[in-house]
Amino acid sequence: MKNIPVSLEWKNNKLYLLDQRKLPEDEEIVVCEDLTKVIVSIKTLTVRGAPAIGIAAAYGILLGLEHTGLEEINKVFDSRASELVKARPTAVNLAWAVDRMLSCQRANRTNPDIYQCLLSEAQNIHQSDRESCRAIGEHGLELVRKYPNILTHCNAGSLAVSELGTALAPIYIANEQGTNVHVFVDETRPLLQGARLTAFELRRNGVPCTLISDNMAAHIMSEGKIDMIITGADRIAANGDAANKIGTLSIAIAAKYFRIPFYIAVPLSTIDYATNSGSDILIEERDGAEVTHFGGVRIAPAGVSARSPAFDVTPADLITGIVTEKGILRPPFPEAIQNLMV
């Protein structure tokens, strides 16, 4: 899978981000040399996908500190962490990665080599995501072989993580091994992450796919053309409720009606053990202009009000299974998730 795009890279004490706002037409790189640039990049979706923004935050908190002394690093670290966590509140991987960096800083607050320790921790977070995505792909492979005609929503591929993806990982592996896979890609309004990003990376890697508008999904299910739905998620509560891109809930409801299995693929870092249920998940509300405008062009009457919640919550009882790097979790999810902590 040599053609999978890379969402981010750390080199020469700078963070390089593939600007996902410009895809698929242009593959531009944004170079971040300070924390502010990273925060703006997260907020504006230059980098997106819960695992990817967690990795970006882990590196971003270090920008500009490579020649800073021990005392100054300890002085500014908490405030830097706080700024990052506020950038996108629904994605738990962001807070998870920042918490890991904070723990490392506190454990090394008297260590003269604190910067190198922190950089090693950020690199460990990056590498563990690569390994998790590969393991998710291997565990989900049996599902794709059994259900090769798949619907996915938003983008849970390599652009949302370090490489390979979560929901797309088993699809890539199955396709590489010769399974006749076909993916229906929801366009994913209002920002078209499915049309712009998922279709882009699937085609680049030779995975057969068909782009559909979001409101076609139930119709395609009714035609018997979909064997399985698989998506990613930005946060999973302790009871198995899952927050993912707006529109996921509608698909899950339709899947239940048509008796189509609905899976979610995530690394364990996306499971928030401290959040009891989906009703406790803070849903990011974005600018309504994302709905009234597209590509800078108004598509709705001037003055009309609009909402743009970035996510919705799919209740656990609509989810068939959760694919993780440790295997596939099955209902009842509270027990399955609790067992991960043992």
Which of 186, 234, 272, 312 does the annotation list as catalytic? 234
- The answer on 187 and 333 residing in a single domain is yes
Q: What is the signed CA dihedral for 332, 88, 27, 248, rounded to 10 degrees?
A: 40
Residue 301 lies in a domain: yes
What are the structure tokens assigned to 105, written together?
A: 């800083």
- A 10 A CB-CB count for 210 gives 14
- Torsion angle of the four alpha carbons 163, 205, 47, 170, in this order, in degrees rounded to the nearest 10: -50
For residue 187, being part of any structural domain is answered with: yes
Domain containing residue 244: CATH number? 3.40.50.10470
| CATH of residue 14 | 1.20.120.420
Cα 160 from Cα 198, distance rounded (Å): 10
Asked if the structure places residue 2 within a domain, the reply is: no
Calpha distance 273→98 (Å, rounded): 16
Residue 25 belongs to a domain = yes
Give the count of domains, the chain.
Answer: 2
DSSP-assigned beta bridge partners for residue 217:
none
The amino acid occupying position 154 is C
Task: Provide DSSP, 102-147.
Answer: HHHHHHTTT-TTHHHHHHHHHHHHHHHHHHHHHHHHHHHHHHHHH-
Task: Name the one residue in this structure whose structure tokens are 């500190």.
Answer: 65
Euclidean distance between CA atoms 302 and 291, whole angstroms: 12
What letter would DSSP give residue 230? E
Phi-psi region of 297 (alpha: psi -120 to 50; beta: other; left: phi over 0): beta
Examine the residue annotation and report whether 312 is marked as an active-site residue of this protein: no
Domain membership flag for residue 3: no
Q: 203 and 66: one domain?
A: no
Please tell me the predicted confidence (pLDDT) of residue 46: 97
Contact assessment for residue 135 and residue 94, using Cβ atoms and an 8 Å cutoff: no
Domain end among 81, 105, 129: 129
For residue 120, being part of any structural domain is answered with yes
pLDDT in tens, the chain (342 residues): 667 889 999 999 999 999 999 999 999 999 999 999 999 999 999 999 999 999 999 999 999 999 999 999 999 999 999 999 999 999 899 999 999 999 999 999 999 999 999 999 999 999 999 999 999 999 999 999 999 999 999 999 999 999 999 999 999 999 999 999 999 999 999 999 999 999 999 999 999 999 999 999 999 999 999 999 999 999 999 999 999 999 999 999 999 999 999 999 999 999 999 999 999 999 999 999 999 998 889 999 999 999 999 999 999 999 999 999 999 999 999 999 999 876
Minimal CA–CA distance to 44: which of 22, 64, 77? 22
Ranges assigned E (strand) in the chain: 8-11, 14-18, 29-32, 149-152, 182-186, 209-212, 228-231, 235-237, 242-245, 262-265, 271-272, 285-286, 293-294, 297-298, 308-309, 311-314, 321-324, 327-329
Single out the residue in 81, 103, 129 at which a domain terminates: 129
d(CA 88, CA 90): 6
Whether 125 and 140 share a structural domain? no
Same domain, 121 and 179: no
In terms of domains, do 282 and 250 share one? yes
In degrees and rounded to multiples of 5, residue 11 shows phi and psi of -155, 145
In a shared domain, residues 88 and 211: no
Say yes or no: 67 and 165 in one domain: no
Domain residue limits at 31: 8-129
Asked if residue 218 and residue 89 are part of one domain, the reply reads no
Identify whether 90 is part of a domain.
yes
Are residues 166 and 98 part of one domain?
Answer: no
Q: Which two tokens stand for residue 103?
A: 């723990």
User: At which of 129, 162, 186 does a domain end?
Assistant: 129
Q: Could you tell me if 98 and 196 lie in one domain? A: no
Q: How far is the C-alpha of 43 from the C-alpha of 24, rounded, in Å? A: 20
| CA distance linking residue 217 with residue 214, whole number of Å | 6
121 shares its domain with 161: no
97-106 pLDDT, tens digit per residue, is 999 999 999 9
Residue 266: inside a domain, yes or no? yes
CA 187/CA 204 separation, integer angstroms: 17
Domain shared by 171 and 121, yes or no: no
- Alpha-carbon distance of 125 to 57, in angstroms, equals 10
Residue entry with tokens 């604190």: 114
